[in-house]
């Protein structure tokens, strides 16, 4: 007679009589084992886990004692046995199950405590071989976790040491575990095994170097729930591990839009080396101004001078320790977020006076470990290699009759760094380590150029002798003509238009130096 599935799940509190514990991470294990022992729970365990429990003076049965079968194959087979999985999967509120396990002399297991071999940590080591890596693919662990999670109506599953404390508190207070707790633990358990399987799948995808991968898997833990998304009626959360890159140590929680702006800020500042004093100001993910100088104060003043209106309520990011003199200058306007690798004590004392201002420490360069970018679209997502990599002037080609001067070349390289972070059609005018005008997000490259020129004129910035960078090729010569009229003497662009010759001819007509980079930095 085949068993029929239960039509409903029993939601009564669960008394724990027997527990199976087999963990790779032994954190909190002695405390948990003591609490279970004090609650009269019989403990079954394996290998190293059993040794830790026995060292506490707590009685423990080895799995082989209940299965009658010694572990084998260097420990690969320990818990894969009907006595173990029958005890975990038995529906003790379902009489046919009870009758069957009694007939088979299988006792129920009401608590499973399992966490898995550290596969992610192991494969992060570049020296590990595939043979070594595969030994850290857990088989019995995920099987027990999934079995216990599936049968959460009758079993509790602890898959993370962080769960032990609250579990023990409930057990000691009620001498049982509630249905809601068991269901919540089951959800976490399935997330744990999904994350584990994702890591293994992705490892093999990289190993086989399949491009594109036939299946894309992603598993990220929730970092925090956000108050709302881009607008108050939109629910939102952030996932992953942002704490590896930043520490928001002062001010309110970052919002959805804040995270987008911080991401843009981290990307642009990553293009400036430790030998430079650089500052960028971001508003709505777009740089309003960027500057480099002899010190941070000069770099900030250059960046701010590009656009003196937009920075209000924006984000300021620097690539050196923020000193008090720069902090005083920044403090003259309302700034929502400031990001720096570190802060001087005096700068902190000043900036922390404003309670709502977020202060962030930049802990790691965003280019480290950010090799892929994703965007959600209808029915799925788009994936591409991230637009990373240092600028290599050796790969550039001067296509004009005139070579750029030494100063023009410095201005061109600076403008090229900035333009890759401006949304297309992107145009950046620059001179002497500062942006003079930035045009972005227009349907015409000429429109972007006109906006950049208008911004420079509004701020009284002289464009004569400036350099211009374009993220993609000039499709027509009119873009270069407009730049020449504005006073620009040097142009840097990817090249590749069918009208390149016309564009080069226009540059020569105005005695402009022009460089083709051969690489586009279009941001749609």
- The residues assigned a catalytic role are 150, 284
Tokens standing for residue 18: 């027997």
Q: Angle at the Cα of 425 (from 419 to 426), degrees rounded to 5?
A: 20
- Spatial distance between the Cα atoms of 415 and 488, rounded to a whole number of angstroms: 12
Classify residue 508 as exposed, middle or buried by CB count within 10 Å of its CB (0-12, 13-18, 19+). middle
Q: Angle at the Cα of 248 (from 292 to 241), degrees rounded to 5?
A: 100
Most distant CA atoms of the chain, gap in Å: 96
What are φ and ψ of residue 80, in 5° steps? -80, 80
- Residue 473: count other Cβ atoms within 10 Å of its Cβ: 20
Give yes or no for a contact between 440 and 455, defined as CB atoms under 8 angstroms apart: no
- Spatial distance between the Cα atoms of 110 and 255, rounded to a whole number of angstroms: 42
Give yes or no for a contact between 305 and 461, defined as CB atoms under 8 angstroms apart: yes
Q: How many CA atoms does the CB half-sphere of 63 hold within 13 Å?
A: 28
Say whether 498 sits in a helix, a strand or coil. Answer: coil
- Spatial distance between the Cα atoms of 357 and 331, rounded to a whole number of angstroms: 10
- Residue 369: count other Cβ atoms within 10 Å of its Cβ: 12
């Amino acid at each position: 007679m085949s068993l029929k599935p239960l039509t409903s799940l029993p939601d009564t509190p669960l008394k724990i009589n027997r527990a199976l514990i087999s963990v790779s991470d032994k954190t909190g294990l002695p405390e948990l084992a003591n609490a279970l022992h004090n609650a009269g729970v019989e403990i079954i365990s394996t290998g190293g886990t059993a040794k830790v429990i026995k060292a506490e003076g707590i009685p423990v049965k080895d799995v082989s004692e209940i299965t009658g079968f010694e572990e084998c194959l260097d420990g690969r087979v320990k818990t894969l046995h009907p006595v173990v999985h029958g005890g975990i999967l038995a529906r003790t509120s379902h009489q046919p199950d009870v009758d069957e396990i009694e007939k088979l002399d299988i006792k129920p297991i009401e608590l499973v405590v399992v966490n898995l071999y550290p596969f992610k940590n192991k494969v992060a080591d570049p020296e590990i071989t595939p043979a070594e890596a595969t030994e850290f693919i857990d088989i019995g662990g995920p099987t027990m976790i999934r079995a216990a999670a599936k049968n959460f109506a009758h079993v509790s599953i602890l898959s993370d040491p962080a769960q032990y404390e609250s579990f023990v508190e409930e057990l000691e207070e009620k001498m049982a575990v509630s249905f809601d707790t068991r269901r919540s633990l089951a959800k976490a358990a399935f997330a744990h095994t999904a994350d584990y399987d994702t890591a293994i799948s992705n490892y093999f995808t990289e190993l086989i170097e399949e491009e594109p991968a036939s299946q894309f898997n992603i598993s990220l833990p929730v970092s925090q729930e956000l108050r709302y998304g881009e607008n108050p009626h939109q629910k939102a959360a952030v996932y992953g591990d942002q704490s590896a890159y930043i520490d928001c140590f002062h001010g309110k929680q970052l919002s959805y839009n804040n995270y987008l702006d911080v991401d843009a800020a981290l990307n642009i500042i990553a293009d400036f080396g430790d030998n430079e004093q650089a500052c960028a100001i971001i508003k709505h993910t777009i740089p309003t101004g960027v500057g480099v100088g002899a010190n941070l104060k000069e770099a900030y003043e250059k960046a701010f001078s590009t656009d003196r209106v937009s920075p209000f309520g924006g984000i300021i990011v620097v690539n050196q320790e923020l000193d008090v003199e720069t902090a005083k200058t920044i403090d003259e306007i309302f700034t929502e977020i400031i990001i720096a690798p570190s802060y001087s004590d005096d700068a902190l004392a000043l900036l922390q006076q404003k309670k709502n201002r977020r202060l962030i420490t930049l802990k790691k360069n965003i280019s480290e470990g950010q090799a892929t970018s994703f965007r959600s679209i209808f029915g799925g997502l788009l994936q591409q290699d991230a637009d990373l990599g240092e600028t290599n002037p050796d790969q550039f080609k001067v296509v004009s009759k005139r070579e750029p001067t030494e100063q023009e070349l410095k201005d061109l390289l600076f403008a090229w760094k900035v333009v890759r972070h401006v949304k297309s059609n992107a145009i950046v005018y620059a001179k002497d380590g500062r942006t003079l005008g930035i045009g972005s997000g227009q349907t015409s490259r000429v429109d972007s150029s006109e906006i950049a020129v208008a911004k420079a004129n509004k701020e009284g910035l002289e464009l004569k002798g400036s350099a211009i960078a374009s993220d993609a090729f000039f499709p027509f010569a009119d873009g270069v003509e407009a730049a020449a009229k504005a006073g620009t003497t040097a142009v840097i662009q990817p090249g590749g238009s069918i009208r390149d010759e016309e564009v080069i001819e226009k540059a020569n007509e105005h005695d402009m130096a022009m460089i083709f980079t051969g690489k586009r930095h279009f941001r749609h």
